[in-house]
Amino acid sequence: MVRVKGGVASRNRHKKVLAQTKGFRGKRNSVFRLAMQAMMKSGTNAYIGRKQKKRDMRGLWISRINTALKLRGQRYSEVKNQWLHGQMEIDRKNLSELAVNYPLVFNQIADAAKKVKKTA
C-alpha cells in the first residue's frame, strides 16, 4: 500500500492563489496562508464594491440632473415628481446624459414636464 501525498495538486492550488495575490503588500503575496486570507477578503470587498458602484452612479446621475435644473431655476425633487405624474418613461442615466451632452434636448424635456404638471 502506497500513501498518496497530493503534492502536485497542493502546489498547483498554492500557485493559483499566489498568482491572484500578486501585487499585494507584505507577506500577503508570498505566504500561502496569508495570501489565502487576503484573497478571500479581496473577493468580499469586490462583491461589496460592485453593489456600491451602482449606488454611486445613481447619486452622480441625480447630481448632474439637479445641476442642470438649477441653471433653469428648478429643483430636482419637483421636476422628478412632475415626470412621475406625467408618466415620462426616461431613466436617470439617460437624463443625466442628456443634461451633460445635449442641454437643448434636456430643456425641452424639462419644459414638457412643466406643462404636464399644469394640466394634471
Which among 112, 58, 105 is positioned nearest to 83, based on CA atoms? 112
pLDDT at position 110: 87
pLDDT at position 62: 94
1 within some domain: no
33 within some domain: yes
Output the pTM of the full model: 0.72
pLDDT at position 79: 85
Mean pLDDT by 10 residues, the chain (120 residues): 89 96 96 96 97 96 94 87 80 92 91 70
Look at the chain and report how many structural domains it folds into: 1
Q: Maximum Cα–Cα distance for the chain, whole Å?
A: 89
pLDDT at position 80: 85
Q: Which domain holds residue 72?
A: 7-119
Cβ–Cβ < 8 Å for 98, 109 = yes
Q: How far is CA 110 from CA 8, 31, 94, 107, in A?
A: 66, 59, 13, 5
